[in-house]
Amino acid sequence: MTPEEALAYCLTEIEAGRKTAAECLALFPDMPGLKAQLQAAQALRAWRAPAISPEAARRLEARVRQRTRAPRPNRAGLFGLPLKWVVALATLIFFFISAGAVTASADSLPGDALYPVKRTGESVQLLLTPASNKAALHTLFAERRLNELAALAERGFANSEAIAVLAAEITAETGAALDALQFAPKDSQPALIQNIVTETQQQQAILEQVKATAPSHLQVELDRALQESIQQATAAIQKDGGFPGETASPTSTPTLTLTAVEATTTSVTTEAAQTSSNPTATTIAIVLQPPTGTLAPPQQPTEPQQAHTPPGQARKIETTSAQQAGASTPAPTSHNGNADGNNGNNGANPATAPNCNANNPNSPNYCTPAPSSATATPPAESNPAPTACPTNASGKPKCK
């Protein structure tokens, strides 16, 4: 409670008869000047204007009217200057004195004698500032109220009511700065927003410190100011285009993930995860590792293809095959005697020559060719050998 409020409270209680002057002074032991102020106020209230008789009142009235009718001589101003110049000079002197008072009140706090001068100067400054610069000015005023709150808290919360008022004014000035951003030039808005965000961060830090040591009846006001400062910081960041490092929401586009894992063989693993009727994500893991050795592709067994032969040509093909086999076989085996009178020995010994016909498989005396070995001689057609000419009894050749 301020000294002025304490004085008003004591005067009200004393006039109502509820308290005496001593009792009121006992309620405010930390205000030593309250006693003198209370005595002066009581003396002024006890003073009564002196009564005047009706006759004396009429004489005074007549004297005033007589002076009003009399012509008044022109008076020169101060130092012989015209009166209008004296007024202008007085205004200029008052302006410089006021400017000095405002400068001297820059460090004043609520409860100080020059603090009203400080706040009046801020009101005039805000009134003369164009709308394009009011966002920066409101941010400056919010910083001043924050510094004043911190200074009052260092004094021990003696003026707790002023601290509560300052906490509300801090967020009010910050909100006014946010509202005035729309009138600022577009190119200067990012810097103004950054200043507001920085100011709200300082507000939250100092309010947290003050709240930690503040009395219980200030906790509600400080907590309300802290929450409003957090909300204003969020609003400022959103005006600047959103929070930094914000990520987009996931879509339904499948993604491919390749992971290299050591393995002895090559394998492909596909995992498809579906959480609803529409697939939201598909993960394909491909595990690749070259084999340690050289692997040949497996060969599938191939069955021989059998060509289809018409029935009329089957016997002819068998005859040709048999003839080729007989030509390449040196010693055929006889099945029957030679019915055709041809023993096929070409002048060889009849006792050892086979009695068969190897050239006609359909004959009863067809010679079955002996199986050929791996070292068999090539067929006669491919490697013909000369045939010896037989001789007669006298040793002469029969051949011509």
The last residue of one of the domains, among 128, 154, 185, is 128
Q: Are residues 113 and 141 in the same domain?
A: no
The reply to whether 23 and 114 lie within a common domain is no
- pTM, full prediction: 0.41
The single residue listed with the structure tokens 């500032």 is 129
Is the pLDDT at 151 greater than 60? The verdict is yes
Does residue 121 sit in the same domain as residue 28?
no
- In sequence order, what are the residues at sequence separation of 6 or more whose Cβ sits closer than 8 angstroms to the Cβ of residue 197? 233, 236, 237, 240
Residue 327 makes CB contacts below 8 A (sequence gap 6+) with 379, 380, 381
* Residue 113 and residue 24 share a domain: no
**Dist. CA 225–CA 280, nearest whole Å:** 44
Q: N- to C-terminal Cα distance for the chain?
A: 163
Of 175, 210, 242, the position where a domain reaches its end is: 242
Q: Are residues 134 and 222 in the same domain?
A: yes
Q: For the segment 335-360, what is each residue's pLDDT rounded down to a tens digit?
A: 444 434 444 444 444 444 455 555 56
**Residue 238 and residue 134 in one domain:** yes
Residues 168 and 231 in one domain: yes
Chain center to CA of 22: 67
Give strand pairing partners of 272.
282
Residue 36 lies in a domain: yes
Give residue 120's pLDDT band: very low, low, confident or very high (50, 70, 90): confident
Number of domains into which the chain is organized:
3
Say if CB 254 and CB 282 are below 8 A apart: yes
Q: Do 144 and 234 reside in the same domain of the chain?
A: yes
Task: Check pLDDT > 60 for residue 116.
Answer: yes
Residue at a domain's end among 242, 264, 297: 242
Per the DSSP assignment, residues forming a β-bridge with 282 are 272
Taking only the tens place, the pLDDT of each residue in 188-232 is 999 999 999 999 999 999 999 999 999 988 999 999 999 999 999
Contact criterion met (CB below 8 Å) for 158 and 2 = no
The parent domain of residue 118 ranges over 81-128
Report whether pLDDT(147) > 60: yes
pLDDT attached to residue 360: 60
138 with 112, same domain: the answer is no
345 lies in some domain: no
In a domain, 74, yes or no: no
Q: Per the domain annotation, does 105 fall within a domain? A: yes
Are 111 and 182 in the same domain?
no
